[in-house]
Amino acid sequence: MTTPLWQKDSTAESTTDDWVHRFTVGDDYEWDRLLLPYDVEASRAHAWGLHQIGVLSEGDRERINDALDALLDAFEAGGVTVTPQDEDCHTVIERFVTEHAGTAGEKLHTGRSRNDQVLAALRLYLRDALATIGAQTATLTEALCDLAERHADVLMPGYTHLQRAMPSTVALWALGYAESLAADLSALRHARRQINVSPLGSAAGYGVPVLDFPREAVAKRLGFRDVQTHATAVQLARGKHELAVSHACTQVGASCNRLASDLVLFATAEFDFVDLPPEHCTGSSIMPQKQNPDVLELVRASHHRLAAEMQSLATGPSNLPGGYHRDLQLTKAAVLRSVQMTSDMLTALTEVVRGVTFNPEHTRAACTPDLLATQRALEQVAEGVPFRTAYQQAAVGDAESGPIDPVAVLDAYETDGTPGQERPDLVREQLIPHRDWINEA
């Protein structure tokens, strides 16, 4: 087994039982493979900070940078990875840099702990991941706007309680979800801003004695908006920052969940409102006729998985005293699972939305005259009849027979955002304030 960074005697074998090592490491090493490039980036900035205060000479810093370059090359080529024996990516980095930079490498961990080191890498990763998720959310929003424009003025029933309620349109259905997703971008942006603060210099949670580490300058170098001033605040933020990210992802998941649920329902033979792209469906091993909407069903289920991760982040750190505790290690996997699931979910749903087509004949045929009851009541109101009286008369009145006229139905609406008055341009305008941060992905 690789000698742990915390081993007192580097020449001695680890005294930790193998099962203890397996239990404490868990699957953390797998997640650290995602974080290693970001840990390298933070290590480079940390070395710069140590050079500013005289701990590293210019030559030391150059040797460390060369070693970090070599490590990234080896990692990307598959020659270096993080294994269970390594425990984490921090061990891999320190060992590699020491082997390639000698004494200079031994100085790299000066003034930092794995506690602030992992948080720096994690926040850098999440900053990029949230920008990517933001871009994917905007892309899905655009795809829904395109879907609305492809099906302009296509009548379909609107539902409450899964019962036909009032006239709607395919465009109105699509743009409702588009606007919901556009609003979700604000939650993603807020979470990204919240986590974009530097923990470096807090070390194990109580600061660094003797050395006046240039925390603000290092934070600026890494693109953080600020530092967490009090060292003790850093570990208290663990779980809370991750919860903010997970909550934002769950908000996106909620929009995707209901969109996927609608499409699964609309694809049934009983509705037959939509044709799903066959390349995004699967079949049955026993029933040859089946085309199953598995992608949409997994998108629908992803929201519940996201909610579970969010719950673990809300409860896991609770009741812990101040400072670091190993319980907090589990927050890393929870938030990383959240961002990965969200990204996969958005990719899948966007592909389906781009390929789905509605069947206008079927959606219009489902718009029976009873859907016009509210319109009939309001027409009487326009003639001076009190609404409750008009409501009661419309409830017992004879409905027209035969199909309804789509043009007449849509002409009854004048307000933006109602059937026939859809505004995909306004939804697209809601994306504009987010272009600066989602384009950073």
Could you tell me if residue 79 is inside a domain?
A: yes
Beta bridge partners of 155: 169
Using CA atoms, how far apart are residues 251 and 261, in angstroms rounded to an integer? 16
Residues 52 and 192 placed together within one structural domain of the fold: no
Q: What pLDDT score was predicted for residue 398? A: 58
Spatial neighbors of 104 by CB under 8 A, at least 6 apart, are: 56, 59, 60, 61, 63, 64
Question: Exposed, middle or buried: residue 211 (CB in 10 Å: 0-12, 13-18, 19+)?
Answer: middle
pLDDT tens per residue, range 408-435: 999 999 999 999 999 999 999 999 999 9
Residues 359 and 432 placed together within one structural domain of the fold: yes
Could you tell me if residue 209 is inside a domain?
A: no
Read off the amino acid at residue 39: D
Q: What pLDDT score was predicted for residue 151? A: 94
**Would you say the C-alpha torsion 13, 78, 73, 87 has a positive or negative sign?**
negative
Query: Is 284 a known active-site residue?
Result: yes
10, 161, 285, 401: which one is catalytic? 161
Tokens 């840099």 correspond to 97
Spatial neighbors of 325 by CB under 8 A, at least 6 apart, are: none
Could you tell me if residue 335 is inside a domain?
A: yes
- Quote the Cα angle for 77-78-83, to 5°: 150
Query: Is 109 a known active-site residue?
Result: no
Residues 301 and 358 placed together within one structural domain of the fold: yes
Could you tell me if residue 208 is inside a domain?
A: no
Of the candidates 399, 417, 433, the one whose C-alpha atom is nearest the C-alpha of residue 171 is 417
pLDDT tens per residue, range 128-173: 999 999 999 999 999 999 999 999 999 999 999 999 999 999 999 9
The whole domain housing 134 covers 123-200+229-366+419-438
- The 3-state secondary structure of the chain, one letter per residue: CCCCCCCCCCCCCCCCCHHHHHHHHCCHHHHHHHHHHHHHHHHHHHHHHHHHCCCCCHHHHHHHHHHHHHHHHHHHCCCCCCCCCCCCHHHHHHHHHHHHHCHHHHCCCCCCCHHHHHHHHHHHHHHHHHHHHHHHHHHHHHHHHHHHHHCCCCEEEEEECCEEEEEEEHHHHHHHHHHHHHHHHHHHHHHHHHHCEECCCCCCCCCCCCCCCCHHHHHHHCCCCEECCCHHHHHHCCCHHHHHHHHHHHHHHHHHHHHHHHHHHHCCCCCCCEECCHHHCECCCCCCCCCECHHHHHHHHHHHHHHHHHHHHHHCCCCCCCCCCHHHHHHHHHHHHHHHHHHHHHHHHHHHHHHCEECHHHHHHCCCHHHHHHHHHHHHHHCCCCHHHHHHHHHHCCCCCCCCCHHHHHHCCCCCCCCCCCCHHHHHHHHHHHHHHHCCC
Q: Which two tokens stand for residue 431?
A: 């994306």
Residues 195 and 338 placed together within one structural domain of the fold: yes
Pairing outcome for strands 197-198 and 226-227: parallel
Could you tell me if residue 117 is inside a domain?
A: no
Question: How many domains would you assign to the chain?
Answer: 3
Residues 166 and 255 placed together within one structural domain of the fold: yes
Could you tell me if residue 387 is inside a domain?
A: yes
Q: What pLDDT score was predicted for residue 12? A: 59
Residues 334 and 392 placed together within one structural domain of the fold: no
Q: What pLDDT score was predicted for residue 11? A: 58
Low-confidence ranges of the chain (pLDDT < 70): 1-16, 397-402, 440-441
CATH number at residue 283: 1.20.200.10
Using CA atoms, how far apart are residues 183 and 371, in angstroms rounded to an integer? 30
Could you tell me if residue 207 is inside a domain?
A: no
190, 230, 284, 304: which one is catalytic? 284
Q: Which two tokens stand for residue 19?
A: 């099962």
Residues 307 and 373 placed together within one structural domain of the fold: no
Tokens 């004879």 correspond to 398
Q: What pLDDT score was predicted for residue 357? A: 95
Could you tell me if residue 355 is inside a domain?
A: yes
Spatial neighbors of 122 by CB under 8 A, at least 6 apart, are: 35, 38, 332, 335
Whole-Å CA distances, 152 to 333, 368, 369: 44, 20, 21
Residues 257 and 359 placed together within one structural domain of the fold: yes
Residues 284 and 351 placed together within one structural domain of the fold: yes
Using CA atoms, how far apart are residues 47 and 60, in angstroms rounded to an integer? 9
Residues 379 and 308 placed together within one structural domain of the fold: no
Residues 349 and 389 placed together within one structural domain of the fold: no
Q: Which of 66, 88, 110 is the last residue of a domain?
A: 110
Q: What pLDDT score was predicted for residue 110? A: 96
Residues 374 and 326 placed together within one structural domain of the fold: no
Of the candidates 225, 229, 212, 234, the one whose C-alpha atom is nearest the C-alpha of residue 117 is 234
Of the candidates 38, 438, 418, the one whose C-alpha atom is nearest the C-alpha of residue 252 is 438
